[in-house]
Structure 1
Amino acid sequence: MGNSHVSAQYHVHFSEEEDAKKIRKACKGTGTDEMTIIKVLASNSIEQRQKIKEKYRALYGKNLEKVLQDDLSGNLQNTLLAMLDRPCDFDAKLLNKAMKGTGTDEDILIELLCTRANSQIIATKEAYKQMFTCDLVNDVQSDTSGTLRNLLVSLLEADRDEGLKVNEDLAEQDAKKLFEAGENCWGTDELTFNTILTKRSSLQLRATFKAYETLHGSSIEEVIKREASGDVKKAYLTIVQCTKDCQAYFAEALHEAMEGVGTREDTLIRILVSRSEVDLLSIKESYQEMYKKSLADEIKSETSGYFQKALLALVK
């Protein structure tokens, strides 16, 4: 969903060997040169960073992740390690962590599975299997229950229609089905909601939501807020928001992570790293529009030190 790829301006004269040597020099001796590491990683694309990792291992017989783990700490370490991951590996690790041990972090499952395109979900399932030698679908099934489980498993099938054609008749039929399944029935018929929300294309869903409002006089969000609760409500709303405007959804999530007391650094890292080569440019524009200040300025006022510099390097 919402994956217009905007490639940022990266090094034209890219040399993985030069960059590997720069990082090596920044980590050797007394004291670490954090700024150099940030600059090298932030000025390269995800693909180029994979090459730097390989070259580092070839040159020094060491795993670059391990080196950064030993030399850095806290949020800066988390940010730079996240930048070294391929997106599917990063998502796989986050999903695994959300389900490990006692208790499940449903918010992470909802954010990652409700906002990703089919190809991203397929790649993440493969990465998950390679890293943790278990099946992502099975893990999600055993860690969630009820409607939420059914919804997430449906999303993991990664068979959402991604076509660009809108069928107005279908939109009207779906709008009626949603009405029959929601407002018009005692207890919501979640199967209908799940099927429509996880299988239809973004454009088709937008037409359906419009038809719903025309036919029944209330927005799909209002209906979901009335009919669903807890994590299911959150998941439905995430899909609806992402369908309507994925960049606004992430702008709002970033804003919430910095609002009030204490900044949720892991949310900032997660969104800025995972959207950096997808739609971060548009997210910045949405942020500016929605909150009348730039994302960079907000990051400056809510974070500090090298962690701040790393996030700003991503946002720039």
Structure 2
Amino acid sequence: MQPSIREHPFDHKNDAEKLRKAMKGFGTDEDTLIDIITKRTNIQRQQIAQIYKGLYNKDLYQEIKSEVSGKLEKVLLALLTPPDVYDAQCLNDAIKGLGTNESILIEILCSRTPQQIIRIKEAYKRIYGRDLERDVAGDTSGDLEKILLALCRSQRDYSNRVDGNKAQQDAQRLFKAGINKWGTDEGLFVDIFTSQNPSQLNATMQEYQRLTHQDIETSINSEMGGKFKKAFLTLIECLRYPASYFAKRLHESIQGFGTKDEDLIRIIVSRSEVDLAQIRQDFRRIYNKCLETFIKDDTSGDYEKILLALVVGN
């Protein structure tokens, strides 16, 4: 079994020197870039970049940007970017320009913790001089806007406290607001699912199933629609089985006509130090085929090398 990136020996000065040697002169040693950067944590990469600046008075990010191109460049630069900054950049890319990529907004905001979202908002403000909440509000509408803004406000209780009586009461409220009501009170669903901690919500969902004899996902599928339904189901799956959610997102990015490289890169990079090993296991369980095989079938060259190094090394 290959060691995780945290188990590789680390000498940031030696790494900086190797990276410099790989890029100076005629031609670039992409294998060295891939080998070093994929075997370090994001914090270690920041340390390498800092000492690189001190040794050579050059910005490592800009040096790599000038040496490689295409999809390999995208992955390497993403790996050199702090996670909160990278998420902020991905959200900005989803919002700017003609049309909004709601799928990326849903993926990031529904899967990050309140603490992570606070840091993302700070990075977004620092980089773009704008408020993330205001930009999300300006590019979404209706119930989708409500749930995304509620998540942006990061007011979820993130303790592990479970109140059984409250779980029963909330299950009853959700029942009355959904399948036991003409029309659905989406606001109540949003309030409960964006304010309470995951353990409490799992208890509420268990009580809901006991009360209604169907899981909450079945109710949402029958009562809600469009992007709001997609966001709600994403939020619930990320509360229950985040690795399975991202395994499915990876499959979506690879299957069909053409690979959705932006999605593939974003998911693998952003989960590489979180749960990529579990995502890999869930991918095999769900699709009866290993993630590495899918990547080999749909990518090539140095781009394939770096994605496989991240997937297999976790």
Q: Which amino acid is 1:18 matched to? A: N
The 1-side partners of 2:295 and 2:213 are apart by 40
Question: 2:118 — aligned with what?
Answer: 122
User: Which residue among 256, 268, 272 is the counterpart of 1:272?
Assistant: 268
Question: 2:62 — aligned with what?
Answer: 66
The 1-side partners of 2:302 and 2:15 are apart by 19
User: Which residue among 237, 244, 248 is the counterpart of 1:248?
Assistant: 244
- After superposition, give the CA deviation of every residue in 1:101-126 in whole Å (9 maximum; x if it has no partner): 22111111000000001111111111
User: Which residue among 167, 182, 187 is the counterpart of 1:186?
Assistant: 182
Question: 2:281 — aligned with what?
Answer: 285
Q: Which amino acid is 1:69 matched to? A: K
- After superposition, give the CA deviation of every residue in 1:221-271 in whole Å (9 maximum; x if it has no partner): 111112111110110000111112111111111112111221111111111
The 1-side partners of 2:198 and 2:241 are apart by 10
Which secondary structure does the structure 1 equivalent of 2:241 belong to?
A: helix
Q: Which amino acid is 1:266 matched to? A: E
Q: Which amino acid is 1:66 matched to? A: Q
Q: Which 10-residue stretch deviates more, 83-92 or 219-228?
A: 219-228
Q: Which amino acid is 2:205 matched to? A: F
The 2-side partners of 1:168 and 1:311 are apart by 44
The 2-side partners of 1:142 and 1:85 are apart by 27
Question: 1:96 — aligned with what?
Answer: 92
Q: Which 10-residue stretch deviates more, 44-53 or 152-161?
A: 152-161
The 1-side partners of 2:30 and 2:93 are apart by 27
Question: 2:157 — aligned with what?
Answer: 161
The 2-side partners of 1:66 and 1:39 are apart by 19
Q: Which amino acid is 1:205 matched to? A: L
Q: Which amino acid is 1:176 matched to? A: Q
User: Is the counterpart of residue 8 in structure 1 residue 8 in structure 2?
Assistant: no
In the TM superposition, residue 298 of structure 1 has moved relative to its aligned partner by 2.1
Identical-residue share of aligned pairs (%)? 45
Q: Is the contact made by 1:92 and 1:125 (CA closer than 8 Å) also made in structure 2? A: yes
User: Is the counterpart of residue 206 in structure 1 residue 202 in structure 2?
Assistant: yes
User: Is the counterpart of residue 112 in structure 1 residue 112 in structure 2?
Assistant: no
In the TM superposition, residue 9 of structure 1 has moved relative to its aligned partner by 3.9
Question: 1:37 — aligned with what?
Answer: 33
Q: Is the contact made by 1:11 and 1:44 (CA closer than 8 Å) also made in structure 2? A: no
Q: Which amino acid is 2:80 matched to? A: L
- After superposition, give the CA deviation of every residue in 1:28-58 in whole Å (9 maximum; x if it has no partner): 2222111110111011111000011112222
User: Is the counterpart of residue 172 in structure 1 residue 153 in structure 2?
Assistant: no
Gaps of 5+ in 2: none
Q: Is the contact made by 2:178 and 2:184 (CA closer than 8 Å) also made in structure 1? A: yes
Q: Is the contact made by 2:85 and 2:120 (CA closer than 8 Å) also made in structure 1? A: yes
Q: Is the contact made by 1:8 and 1:277 (CA closer than 8 Å) also made in structure 2? A: no
The 1-side partners of 2:86 and 2:239 are apart by 23
Alpha-carbon distance change, 154 to 270 in structure 1, aligned in 2, over 3 angstroms:
same
Alpha-carbon distance change, 281 to 12 in structure 1, aligned in 2, over 3 angstroms:
closer
In the TM superposition, residue 286 of structure 1 has moved relative to its aligned partner by 1.4
Q: Which amino acid is 1:237 matched to? A: L
The 2-side partners of 1:226 and 1:197 are apart by 18
Q: Which amino acid is 2:114 matched to? A: N
1:111-150 mapped onto 2 (5 Å cutoff): 111-150=107-146
Question: 1:230 — aligned with what?
Answer: 226
Alpha-carbon distance change, 213 to 11 in structure 1, aligned in 2, over 3 angstroms:
closer
Question: 1:3 — aligned with what?
Answer: none
Alpha-carbon distance change, 307 to 12 in structure 1, aligned in 2, over 3 angstroms:
closer
The 2-side partners of 1:62 and 1:55 are apart by 10
In the TM superposition, residue 165 of structure 1 has moved relative to its aligned partner by 2.6
Gaps of 5+ in 1: 1-6
In the TM superposition, residue 60 of structure 1 has moved relative to its aligned partner by 2.2
- After superposition, give the CA deviation of every residue in 1:166-200 in whole Å (9 maximum; x if it has no partner): 22221121112112222222332111010111112
Q: Is the contact made by 1:160 and 1:200 (CA closer than 8 Å) also made in structure 2? A: yes
1:14-33 mapped onto 2 (5 Å cutoff): 14-33=10-29
Which gives a bigger RCO, structure 1 or 2 (Cα 8 Å, sep 6+)?
1
State how many pairs are aligned. 310
The 1-side partners of 2:200 and 2:6 are apart by 35
